[in-house]
């Protein structure tokens, strides 16, 4: 299966952060942006976007883990954390280029996006009021870029 991930269109994102709220409530039962699996970033007053795990092909986070606590699911491509193995050392957090992994201090293990497995679609996608967040694949994104550029070329 082609790998899916959450992407955010900064042209549509208004920086409201509802995604962070709904994520931490869904996953942790509290409102806490630090425990959200999706992270809102402001570039300046008028530019914001949310970032979650992209499930990279070469998974630097998995390579970085000294305890083999991270594992990519062969079917869904989602990265799973083995809480028994994870020591919360944070090497994976440093290895990630996107800051997509965070440490849950109470469980002493890391957490990251799992595309809300078991739900029809991730909760952040469902509730983004501007439809700025969606689940996509690299092929979908590439095709839409090609479509867009072709219109400007012809």
Partner 1 sequence: MYLYHGRILLINLTTQEVKVEELSPSLLKGYLGGVGLATRLLYQYSPPRSDALSPDNPLIFASSALAGTIIPTSNKHAVATKSPLTGLIGDSISSSFWSLALKRTGFDALVIKGIAESPTYLFIDNDIVHFKRAEHLWGKGSPETERCIRSDIGDNRVKVASIGPGGENLVRYACITNDSNRQAGRTGTGAVMGSKKLKAIALRGTRPITVNNLDEVERISIDLIHKAEGPATEKYRVLGTPGNVLVLNRLSALPTRNFQQSSFEKAESVSGENLAEHYLTKVMACATCPVACGHIYTVAEGAYSGTQWELDYESLFALGPLCGVDHIPSIIKAAELCDYYGIDTISTGGCVAWAMECFEKGLLSREDTEDIDLTFGNHAALLEVIQKIGDRSGIGNLLAEGVSIASSKLGRNSEHWAMHSKGLEFPGYDPRAMKTSALGFAVGLRGACHNRSPAYEIDMSGEVDRFKGELGRGSKVVEKEDFAAVLDSLIICKFIRRCFGDFYSEAANLYTQATGMDLTPSELTAAGERINNIKKAFNIRQGWKPGDDWLPPRLFSDPITDGEGKGTVITEEELRLMIDDYYKARGWTAEGLIPEEKLRALEIEVSIAPVKGLEYGTQVYNL
Instruction: Point out which residues bind partner 1 (CB under 8 A).
Output: 11, 14-18, 21-22, 24-25, 28-32, 34-35, 44-48, 127, 129-130
The closest of 36, 6, 15 to 103, measured between CA atoms, is: 36
Nearest distance, CB of residue 31 and partner 1, angstroms: 4
Kindly tell me which of 51 and 72 has the beta carbon lying closer to partner 1.
51
Q: In Å, how far are 25, 53, 57, 101, 103 from 34, measured between CA atoms?
A: 12, 15, 26, 10, 8
Q: Which is nearer to partner 1, 78 or 132 (CB)?
A: 132
Gap between the Cα atoms of 104 and 90, Å rounded: 11
What is the distance between the alpha carbons of residues 81 and 69, in angstroms, rounded to a whole number? 6
Cβ at position 86, least distance to partner 1 in Å:
20
* Minimum gap (Å) between residue 14 Cβ and partner 1: 4
Give the span between the Cα atoms of 95 and 64, in whole angstroms: 7
Q: Measured between alpha carbons, how far is 135 from 87 in angstroms, rounded to an integer?
A: 30
CA-to-CA distance for 41 and 49, rounded, in angstroms? 6
Q: Which is nearer to partner 1, 22 or 52 (CB)?
A: 22
**56/111 with CB nearer partner 1:** 111
Say how far residue 34 (Cα) sits from the centre of its chain: 13
Q: Considering the complex, what minimum distance in angstroms separates the CB of residue 114 from partner 1?
A: 19
Cβ nearer to partner 1, comparing 46 with 148:
46
Q: Least CB distance from residue 98 to partner 1, whole Å?
A: 15
């Amino acid at each position: 299966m082609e790998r899916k991930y959450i992407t955010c269109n900064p042209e549509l994102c208004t920086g409201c952060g509802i995604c962070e709220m709904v994520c931490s409530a869904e996953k942790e039962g509290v409102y806490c942006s630090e425990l959200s699996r999706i992270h809102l970033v402001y570039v300046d007053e008028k530019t914001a976007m949310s970032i979650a795990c992209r499930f990279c092909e070469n998974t630097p986070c998995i390579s970085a883990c000294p305890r083999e606590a991270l594992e990519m699911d062969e079917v869904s491509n989602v990265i799973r954390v083995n809480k028994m193995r994870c020591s919360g050392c944070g090497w994976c957090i440093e290895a990630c280029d996107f800051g997509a992994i965070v440490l849950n201090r109470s469980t002493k293990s890391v957490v990251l996006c799992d595309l809300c497995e078991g739900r029809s679609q991730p909760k952040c996608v469902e509730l983004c009021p501007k439809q700025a967040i969606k689940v996509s694949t690299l092929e979908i994104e590439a095709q839409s870029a090609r479509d867009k550029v072709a219109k400007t070329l012809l």
